[in-house]
Amino acid sequence: MIEAETKNLAGYCGFYCGVCEIYRAYRDSQELREIIAEKHGCSPDEVRCAGCRAVEEIGWKYDKEWSLNCKIRKCAIEKGVEFCID
CA distances from 86 to 3, 53, 61, 75 (A): 20, 16, 26, 11
pLDDT of residue 81: 94
Q: Which domain holds residue 12?
A: 4-79
pTM of the model as a whole: 0.69
Is 37 exposed, middle or buried, given 0-12, 13-18 or 19+ CB atoms closer than 10 A? middle
φ, ψ of residue 44 to 5 degrees: the values are: -55, -30
Q: Is residue 86 part of a domain?
A: no
* Amino acid 64: pLDDT: 64
Flag whether 10 is in a domain.
Answer: yes
The reply to whether 50 falls in a domain is yes
71 occurs within a structural domain: yes
Q: How many domains does the chain have?
A: 1
Tens-digit pLDDT string for the chain (86 aa) = 445 567 778 888 888 888 888 889 988 999 999 999 998 888 898 888 877 788 776 666 766 666 777 888 889 999 999 898 88
Phi, psi of 16, rounded to the nearest 5 degrees: -95, 110
Q: What is the pLDDT of residue 67?
A: 72
Give a yes or no: residue 84 inside a domain.
no
Q: Is residue 13 part of a domain?
A: yes
Q: Both ends of the chain: CA-CA distance in Å?
A: 18
